[in-house]
């Protein structure tokens, strides 16, 4: 298949892997964080770690939209869905995210009208088809999905719809990266920058990472060769003593971002003073709320919400996993009490979550394969 196969070529991967290995200084360990959950998914889905030398560790970052939603917000959304007038429209991967006591899937089974949609425009369609109901779109995601929510609000305003609103849980990526860089317990050598977020915000917002923190960042695409090449670019920078912002994903990402998307975003949304991130706590200016001008489409203004903060379960170490301090399997409940089927933490829910990706794709050990003399152990190196 064009535009896919050429980015999955095993021969090219082997050649790149060899060049990456050559750049490793003997005795030095390298830790790179892939900020975006989409990258985490790609890394595990294609087995990219099989190509990396032992000296390079990939640390999974906080860029998974579902993973950073705090339980209190899920409870608020379920409260909305419980109103008999409301149809809640949500992306599929939100369905199993646990709130304080239950998920959308549980609420749906108990009678709430919750519909899965593939786009906020589908939610708008629902509003047109059900004029006697109030359709609320559960808006989640980083700058990648926020412009489409904003566009939908603008369209609803243009068409004069009175039964459509969004429950905005949109967050922004830069404050999360700042929080990680300020976290004392993590030493990183560089970042794989989030490709799709960067199509919107461009590459300049990352400048501080190179300028103030002296870390390289390479904006990376989502095919496996994109990831390997971006790691190679990070290694080249480190070997030359540079720390700069580079754009590997130039076939999609423009350096200045997407001006149209940004203007739509600013038209509809403004920064919240602060927002709670699951596992990371409150981060100021890290999330988007609907502007006063579009109050008629803001579920938070239209409905009474309990707004109760729910503490993360004690056993759950999503925060440490999101910050890259713990590997998924190092969490105490990983794979036993917390599985994709009965998730305790959000990292286990979304296919982009580090724990779900590791559990679903990576939960076997090369050592075990080697001990067992499996032919795979040979293949995979």
Partner 1 sequence: MTTTGELELRVLDRIDKARRRKAKITDERVTLAHGAGGKASQTLTDAVFLEAFRNPLLEPLSDQAVFGIGNARLAFSTDSYVVRPLFFPGGDIGDLAVNGTVNDLAMAGARPLYLSAGFILEEGFPLESLTRVVASMARAANAAGVQIVTGDTKVVERGKADGCYLNTAGIGVIEHPFALTADAVKPGDAVLISGPIGEHGVTVMLARGELDIDSDLCSDTAPLHGIVADLLTAVDGVRCLRDATRGGVATIVNEIARAADVAVVFDERAIPMRAEVRGAAELLGIDPLYLACEGRFVAFVEGAQADAALASLRAHPLGTGAAIIGRVVADPPGLVLLKTEFGGTRIVDVLIGDPLPRIC
Backbone torsions φ then ψ of 137, nearest 5 degrees: -95, 125
Rounded to a whole number of angstroms, the minimum distance from the CB of residue 368 to partner 1 is 6
Rounded to a whole number of angstroms, the minimum distance from the CB of residue 258 to partner 1 is 21
Contact 8, 225 (CB under 8 A): yes
Rounded to a whole number of angstroms, the minimum distance from the CB of residue 356 to partner 1 is 9
Rounded to a whole number of angstroms, the minimum distance from the CB of residue 345 to partner 1 is 15
List residues near partner 1 by CB under 8 A: 1, 4, 8-10, 13-14, 44-51, 92-93, 95-96, 105-106, 108-110, 116, 118, 122, 224-225, 329-330, 334-336, 339-342, 351, 359-365, 367-369, 372-376, 379-380
What value does the CA radius of gyration of the chain take, rounded to a whole number of Å?
A: 21
Q: 281: alpha, beta or left, given left = phi > 0 and alpha = psi -120 to 50?
A: left
Rounded to a whole number of angstroms, the minimum distance from the CB of residue 136 to partner 1 is 19
Give the residue with the Cβ less far from partner 1, 51 or 277: 51
CA distance 36 to 65: 9
CA distance 343 to 349: 6
Give the residue with the Cβ less far from partner 1, 55 or 369: 369
Rounded to a whole number of angstroms, the minimum distance from the CB of residue 286 to partner 1 is 26
Give the residue with the Cβ less far from partner 1, 84 or 336: 336
Give the residue with the Cβ less far from partner 1, 15 or 256: 15
Q: Tell me the CA end-to-end span of the chain in Å, nearest whole number.
A: 26
Give the residue with the Cβ less far from partner 1, 57 or 183: 57
Give the residue with the Cβ less far from partner 1, 130 or 274: 130
Rounded to a whole number of angstroms, the minimum distance from the CB of residue 110 to partner 1 is 6
Give the residue with the Cβ less far from partner 1, 12 or 291: 12
Tokens linked to 351? 């296919």
Contact 86, 80 (CB under 8 A): yes
Tokens linked to 198? 């960067």
DSSP 76-107: HHHHHHHSTTEEEEE-GGGTT---SS--HHHH
**Which stretch of DSSP H or E encloses residue 288?**
strand 288-290
Tokens linked to 244? 């700069």
CA distance 286 to 277: 9
């Amino acid at each position: 298949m064009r535009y896919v196969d050429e980015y999955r070529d095993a021969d090219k991967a082997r050649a790149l892997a060899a060049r990456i290995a050559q750049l490793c200084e003997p005795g030095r360990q390298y830790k790179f964080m892939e900020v975006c959950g989409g990258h985490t998914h790609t890394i595990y889905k294609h087995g990219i770690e099989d190509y990396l030398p032992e000296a390079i560790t990939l640390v999974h970052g906080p860029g998974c939209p579902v993973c950073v939603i705090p339980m209190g917000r899920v409870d608020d959304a379920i409260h909305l869905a419980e109103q008999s007038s409301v149809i809640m429209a949500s992306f599929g991967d939100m369905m199993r995210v646990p709130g304080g006591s239950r998920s959308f899937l549980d609420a749906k089974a108990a009678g709430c009208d919750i519909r899965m949609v593939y786009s906020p425009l589908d939610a708008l369609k629902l509003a047109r088809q059900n004029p006697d109901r109030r359709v609320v779109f559960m808006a989640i995601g980083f700058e990648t999905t926020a412009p489409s929510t904003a566009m939908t609000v603008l369209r609803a305003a243009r068409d004069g719809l009175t039964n459509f609103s969004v429950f905005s849980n949109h967050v922004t990526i830069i404050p999360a990266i700042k929080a990680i860089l300020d976290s004392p317990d993590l030493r990183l050598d560089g970042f794989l920058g989030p490709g799709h977020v960067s199509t919107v915000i461009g590459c300049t917002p990352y400048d501080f990472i190179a300028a103030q923190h002296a870390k390289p960042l390479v904006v990376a695409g989502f095919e496996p060769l994109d990831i390997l090449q971006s790691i190679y670019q990070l290694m080249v920078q480190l070997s030359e003593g540079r720390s700069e912002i580079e754009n590997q994903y130039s076939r999609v990402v423009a350096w200045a971002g997407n001006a149209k998307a940004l203007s739509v975003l600013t038209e509809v949304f403004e920064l919240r003073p602060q927002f709670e991130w699951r596992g990371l706590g409150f981060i100021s200016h890290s999330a988007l709320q609907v502007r006063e001008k579009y109050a008629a489409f803001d579920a938070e203004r239209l409905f009474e919400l309990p707004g109760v903060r729910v503490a993360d379960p004690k056993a759950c170490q999503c925060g440490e996993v999101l910050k890259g301090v713990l590997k998924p399997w190092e969490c105490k409940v990983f794979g036993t009490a917390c599985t994709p089927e009965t998730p305790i933490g959000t990292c286990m829910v979304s296919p982009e979550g580090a724990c779900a990706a590791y559990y679903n794709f990576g939960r076997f050990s090369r050592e075990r394969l080697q001990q067992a003399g499996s032919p795979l152990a040979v293949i995979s190196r």
